[in-house]
Amino acid sequence: MIRPPPRAPVRQKTLLSVLRRAHLSVVVAAISLVGLSLMTTGAIILMAYANDSLRLVAHAIAYNAQAATVFEDHAAALDALASIATTEDIASATITDRHGEILARWDSPPHGLFAMLAHYSARLLQQRSVSTPIIHDEAIIGVATVSGNGQNLLSYIISGILSIILSEGLIVASAVLVSRRMMDEIVGPLQNFTRVAHAVREDRDFDRRVPGAAITELNSFAADFNALLDELAIWQSHVATETASLQYRASHDSLTGLCNRAVFEDRLLQEIDHANLRGAQIALLLIDCDRFKEINDRYGHAAGDAVLVCISERLRDQLSTGDVAARLGGDEFALLVTSGHHIADARRIVDAIRASMQTPITLPGGERIVASLSIGIAMYPDHAGDVSQLMHLADLAMYRSKFIARQKASKPTTEGE
């Protein structure tokens, strides 16, 4: 079965780009509608103004050509017509007599492309010719007709369009600046939220806080967000403390604080691997308190716990860097010696432990006793080649030591007995 190729990840838009695009679209649309309305209104006003201007020009020609029309003087009529037409924005002007015959006609000379555009713009805007009767003794003796060429009209329209475009450009630029500032006030705080949330999620940095914002709602949100971070920091600290406590309790004896059996055996395996790499030796010491049951029966379990705690403290005092002490259970302890290189080094540690136990132990009831220890030694790799055999030989050596102690019939006694 042919699997379709994986789709390329869709590039997501940023909030800032979406807001800016939406805001700019609204501004441009609004300004475009306003500009279109202004241009339409302006065109209507200019058309009315142009028609009124043509009407005034026609009245002026009719008045100026009245005498020439009465006498039907073509030259005088043409002079009267040209004297006004040449100074006004008209394309053509005619004077007809009472019979409708053209008495005089004036046409604006061509002025190139602009004149052509003006002519078509006048036709597009439906600028019409204007006719005014020539009256003498309350009788119509002729008609003056004027048509605009649209040059002034086109100039006004172009000027108006350029002014509107320039104004709209300035408005759009101002709107963009205002929009950018407004967007920064909105998006900037949101970006701060994003950065802080990312730092908390990825780096567990619960000390980061969101700065305040100028907008009331965002500032209130920042305060609540920071309060939530404070609670999360407290919760994280509590979890870390509880985790560390659980890890410690899982790996250490709750009474003496020494390593428990599982941790000690793992460490023993690691040290054996290291010894194989270095070609070194390690010593395993198994330690048992002699007649510990008699101490519990005679002085109570609190006294027995005090003896165990004291033994663990005196064992710690004999540790060097890399050595490990553990309570395997009950009154049984173990010591892993990695700092020595021969069995003589291990025996010196045993002698130091036994010497330290000569100092009386003060029990909770105030009694002072001297407790003895049975200690067995096994060396790796001289005595054993693996963990189980090493533990077995050390255990045998410890019970041999305990048997010898019992043969001497020693037992713990209170000081002064």
pLDDT (tens, 9 = 90+) of the chain, 417 residues, equals 455 555 555 566 666 667 667 767 777 787 778 878 877 787 777 777 777 877 888 888 888 888 888 888 888 888 888 888 778 777 778 888 888 888 888 887 766 555 556 555 655 554 567 888 988 888 888 898 888 766 666 676 777 778 878 887 887 777 777 777 777 777 778 788 888 888 888 888 878 888 888 778 888 888 888 888 888 888 888 888 888 888 888 888 989 999 999 999 999 999 999 888 888 889 999 999 988 999 999 999 999 999 999 999 999 998 888 899 999 999 999 999 987 668 888 899 999 999 999 999 999 988 999 999 999 999 998 888 888 899 999 999 999 988 887 777 555 554 443
pLDDT at residue number 389: 92
d(C-alpha 193, C-alpha 212), whole Å = 11
Q: How far is CA 178 from CA 144, 164, 184, 294, in A?
A: 58, 21, 10, 90
Q: How far is CA 347 from CA 44, 154, 324, 379, in A?
A: 118, 118, 16, 11
pLDDT at residue number 415: 45
Residue 145 pairs in a beta bridge with 94, 131
CB 275 within 8 A of CB 387: no
pLDDT at residue number 308: 95
The 10 Å Cβ neighbour count of residue 230 is 12
d(C-alpha 137, C-alpha 139), whole Å = 5
pLDDT at residue number 321: 86
Domain spanning 15-172, CATH architecture: 2-Layer Sandwich (3.30)
* pTM: predicted TM-score of the whole model, two decimal places: 0.50
pLDDT at residue number 259: 93
Query: 381 preceded by cis ω (within 30°)?
Result: yes
The residues assigned a catalytic role are 331
Longest dimension (CA), the chain: 171
d(C-alpha 112, C-alpha 52), whole Å = 26
CB 88 within 8 A of CB 57: yes
CB 335 within 8 A of CB 315: yes
What angle separates helix 151-203 from helix 15-64, to the nearest 10 degrees? 170
DSSP assignment string, 243-281: HHHHHHHHHB-TTT--B-HHHHHHHHHHHHHHHHHHT--
Domain spanning 261-407, CATH architecture: 2-Layer Sandwich (3.30)
CB 406 within 8 A of CB 320: no
Residue 76, class by beta-carbon neighbours within 10 Å (0-12 exposed, 13-18 middle, 19+ buried)?
middle
pLDDT at residue number 26: 78
pLDDT at residue number 12: 62
Task: With CA atoms as reference, report the closest residue to 150 among 173, 176, 123.
Answer: 123
Task: With CA atoms as reference, report the closest residue to 210 among 324, 159, 154, 220.
Answer: 220
Task: With CA atoms as reference, report the closest residue to 359 among 345, 341, 372, 376.
Answer: 372
